Structure 1
Amino acid sequence: MATTNVLGTVYETLLCSPGMNEVVKIDVKMSRKTVLLLNSVIEGGISDDNERQELLKLVPEEDLAKLKEFAEDCLGKAGLKELSEKMKSLETK
């Protein structure tokens, strides 16, 4: 529980850091299927709806790989890839 509080504090601190409100232009071209899946992943991630999370388990691996690639591309274009990797390493500790 204490680890969750510390990680939450770190996220809050990073989100209010200078430059985090700067606009980043990301030119995106993707299929409608990928857009629909991205929407489902985002909504599933921010909701407690177990049914939605169960439906996401049915998504083919290749489609999930495309979403992951898109997310990594967005992080790279925003200059946040390294920061994201460091945040992930905090989650596993």
Structure 2
Amino acid sequence: MLTASEAGKVFDTVLSSPGMNEMVKIDLKMSRKHVLLLSNVIQRGLNSKGDEEAGGLLANVPKDIFAELSKISEDCLQKAGLSELSEKLKALNTK
């Protein structure tokens, strides 16, 4: 079993391997329910930023990647027409 440090090094190696910065086009068709859930999962993962639940893997990820993932999440919500609903749900969750 790998320690969190070792797993982080392996993850960092995979992210820096050749071709990982190449852009790919992904065409997805999913229900609004799945878009809302996917966005929530992305945001929860971004908020954990390398805590023990993630095994410390995200601790070595550059901050610009977190910004890109957040933007992808926002874009998905916007395209599905769920931005306002998502914000209202976040507001309810913080109360």
TM-score by length of 2: 0.45
TM-score by length of 1: 0.46
